[in-house]
Amino acid sequence: MLQQINAIRGTKDFLPDEIHKLRYIEKTAVSVSERFGYYEMRTPVFEHTELFSRGVGDTTDVVQKEMYTFNDKGGRSITLRPEGTAGAARAFLEHGLFNEALPQKIFYLASCYRYEKPQSGRWREFRQFGVECFGSPTPFADAEVITLACVFFNDLGISNLQLEINSLGCPKCRKDYQKALYDYFISHKGSLCATCLDRLERTPLRILDCKSPVCGDISALAPVALDYLCCDCSEHFFKVKECLDATQVKYTVNPHIVRGLDYYTRTVFEFVSTDEKTKGLVCGGGGRYDGLLEELGSTSIPACGFGIGVDRTLLVMEAQEITFPEKSAVDIVIAATDDTSRLKAAFIADSLRYKGYAVIIDIMDRSLKAQMKFANKTGARYTAVIGENEIKSDFVELKNMKTGTKTEITISDFTNDFTDALLSDFD
RNA sequence: GUGGAUGUAGCUCAGUUGGUUAGAGUGCCAGGUUGUGGCCCUGGAGGUCGUCGGUUCGAAACCGAUCAUCCACCCCA
């Protein structure tokens, strides 16, 4: 026997048994997006590596150590997308969507790839529901994408999710803030952990995010970005909060949120699970990225958006024991007793399928009893047995599998409108 | 990338201080008479005990390596 080949580390199979859950989440994402006037865009899974190193940022962990990068046969450096925004922004620019009526509001459902050590809620291939609003500088846009995310989680019946928001300011005020931060941390240089010492020169903002108790204590007293916002940024943040209040979206301001992607300016936010079983899991995050499109070679175009982890959302829903719509069941199983009847059963099944019903017949050459058992397992609503007697008499019994009651009809009636009336009676 | 736990039938797990042909429940398949599911009864298939190497007369059990899963950190979706 040859050795079996298993799935790649950090990837996950969704089997027929649970795929309806994923579909339900995706369907909800589409529905919510369209209710806000966001339309789907699909971009390739791989892009030029440079798109991410320039867009997401060279200093980020994602770009530095988590990307699936390889050279294709033409010698191009290619990267499997680690997130969705860069590709969407690239497509927006490449196809000149900025010439259309602004804002351009986009959503996508995309698999993303990051080379990380896997654990539950963290996979090397994961699905992301993302939304991007290109062209609007106003706080109403920030609030709109946040509200959209809230409606999404609400539609799915998810509770115990905390929305945390913050403002990182624009490049102008961030500069002042970073200097203040640097000065503060340099005075505590002796106490910081090794990773944070490394961050000090590179990206001092991220020290605020450190979970080590010592750094946490130091961070707690560190200067807060919100205190360093310039007038414009300060007003923008105030209005975002005002909009959220208007739509009754609940949030807490967390001055320590620092997103891991470089392109964010001003508003940033995260949805964090507060549920016992999935505590601390970040289900989604986003913010404003007014500098990204310029970084990708365009004129300055403001934008904002978010990414929500579909798999993580599923994880939280399962932990909260939320009921999903049932997977679609088979309408009718047509069992047959002998080879001649099998042909007749196949004919009837096909006629019904043309009419739109889900019909299955036995293709395992099983006994009638086994066919009935199988029908039961598939959750079929009705069964019908075709045999010598039925073919002779032209009558067939349609059995309701829930109640066990049988209704006699002619075979020709079976495939015409009479069936519609009969089947629609089912509760 | 760092630290820790785990790895026995498709699934959930037993397996006594290392000792004959490795177990249960569940699922799967087939029967319980001649053409009808769910319950019950009977039987069957299915495991080189994650993999490789070592210790031993003998290893699922002990040791090492490796792979995988999970947890914490890191990071984020």
Spatial CB neighbours of A43, under 8 Å, sequence gap ≥ 6? A81, A84, A87, A88, A90, A91, A108, A110
How far, in Å, CA of A74 to CA of A59, rounded? 28
A391, with CB counted inside 10 A (0-12, 13-18, 19+), is middle
pLDDT digits (tens, 9 = 90+) for A261-301: 778 889 999 999 988 888 888 899 999 999 999 999 999 99
- Give me the CA A89–C1' B43 separation in Å, rounded: 64
Residues forming beta bridges with residue A107, ordered by sequence position: A40, A131
Mind giving me the DSSP string for A320-377? TTPPPPPPPPPSEEEEESSHHHHHHHHHHHHHHHHTT--EEE--S---HHHHHHHHHH
Structure ipTM over 0.90, yes or no: no
Residues forming beta bridges with residue A299, ordered by sequence position: none
Residue A7's nearest nucleotide, by CA–C1', is B68
- Give me the CA A361–C1' B68 separation in Å, rounded: 40
Structure tokens at A128: 């992301």
Omega before residue A103 within 30° of 0, cis: yes
Q: What pLDDT, on a 0 to 100 scale, did the predictor assign at position A219?
A: 73
Protein contacts on strand B: list nucleotides below 7 Å from a Cβ.
Answer: 1-2, 28-32, 35-38, 67-77
Q: What pLDDT, on a 0 to 100 scale, did the predictor assign at position A198?
A: 67
Q: What pLDDT, on a 0 to 100 scale, did the predictor assign at position A425?
A: 58
Backbone angles phi, psi at A272, to 5 degrees: -115, 135
Answer whether A171's CB lies under 8 Å from A233's CB.
no
Q: Which residues of chain A have pLDDT under 50?
A: none
First-to-last alpha carbon distance for chain A, in angstroms, is 50
Q: What pLDDT, on a 0 to 100 scale, did the predictor assign at position A426?
A: 54
